[in-house]
Structure 1
């Protein structure tokens, strides 16, 4: 991991914001309306972060079944569920400090970009990003059967921010194993955060370069 990264790519759900309440409530409604058993809370929390289509496939839903669940889920999110959400303690101050130190800040999320950008803007986090709201990168609003790999999102974020250029040093910050794997696919390290939705040991097992438990620890690690 670089001693003092010039570029920091930030996951959204579970890293910047606690989006579990709205996501889980929307999923409960989606499973109920489509007639499928509603997973318990522990299983529902595992849906937060990874691409939704991938999580539904792991839940053994067929393509048509998953599409039905996704349709209701997105209706609920867009009706207000996506704002049943909050910024984690210390994140705003962390972003301000990193911005003021000259760090290039972008968001790289598995949440569809048309949903991610309004959320970032709603909480005023775009003011800390180097390119404002244009520095929020996510996949298109793909269908349930399309498991858009986060590695492609990370690649786009790196290229758009200049983090893939010679002389730049970049790091990913995220709370789940798919953040670590996506970063590694692009040749960069990940700092894992434990305040999100990962299982105990998940980040370490995935190969995170470091794991921190607070925004203060993350600030110290990023600024050296």
Structure 2
């Protein structure tokens, strides 16, 4: 493939997939394993997006955050939960308690047909993100995949974006351009920290007003708006 000049960075949780069931189930199991009070539903809802260590630290597990992350990853990556699509069958890892949003496959196909380079940019560890994308048939709809590292040296969205740009030899001075598409403040801020503007997605897990407060450059309401929104973005910014 030719060097990508128009790059669409795509968040995973809350943007391509509705992943809260697996994330929250794994987090709840972690608190119970540690014998700690489980946060409220409102507090748990904030776990989708930010790095795990920060979420556990913020919600009562600062003293055991490393162990909490280990227990979470155990539940999230090994067969732990009943499969709602196959009751009574084999258990599945938390990361497969997940589903692709309606309209996303069609939107990604349209974007690629229009010549955009599509790359996942997620704060989820890259090996986990790769397995999720393979299971839900997203891998073949994108050109590359960038995720966090397992050793916690790359956990923030800005770090993931810089890592991805290094991988594809992104060069703004040469005329390369990019947009970050995501549903949370982490996507908007991560993009801005790296000089990348953003398209916010209301179908995800953002709190009311969150995308506006953090300065999303464009906001869309439904998945079918995504292809034309990307076109408008590259024509405008």
Residue equivalent to 1:139: 148
- Alpha-carbon distance in structure 1 between the residues aligned to 2:100 and 2:122: 15
Q: Unaligned 5+ residue runs, structure 2? A: 79-92, 233-237
Query: Which structure has the larger Rg over C-alpha atoms?
Result: 2
Query: Is the partner of 1:138 in helix, strand or coil?
Result: strand
Higher share of residues assigned strand = 2
Query: Is the partner of 1:108 in helix, strand or coil?
Result: strand
**Deviation, structure 1 residue 164:** 3.0
TM-score calculated relative to the size of structure 2:
0.85
Question: Is 169-178 or 54-63 further displaced after alignment?
Answer: 54-63
- Alpha-carbon distance in structure 1 between the residues aligned to 2:154 and 2:45: 18
| Higher relative contact order, chain-length normalized (CA < 8 Å, sep 6+) | 1
Q: Unaligned 5+ residue runs, structure 1? A: none
Q: Contact (CA 8 Å) 2:61, 2:68: kept in 1 or not?
A: no
The counterpart of 1:96, out of the listed 109, 118, 123, is 109
Residues 1:40 and 2:40 aligned together: yes
- Alpha-carbon distance in structure 2 between the residues aligned to 1:155 and 1:164: 11
- Alpha-carbon distance in structure 2 between the residues aligned to 1:97 and 1:212: 17
C-alpha RMSD over aligned residues: 1.6
- Alpha-carbon distance in structure 2 between the residues aligned to 1:151 and 1:209: 17
Count of residue correspondences: 213
Question: CA deviation digits over 1:126-148, x for unaligned, max 9?
Answer: 11112xxxx211111135xx783
**Deviation, structure 1 residue 202:** 0.5
Q: How does 1:1-12 map to 2 (within 5 A)?
A: 6-12=6-12
Q: Contact (CA 8 Å) 2:43, 2:59: kept in 1 or not?
A: no
Residue equivalent to 2:165: 158
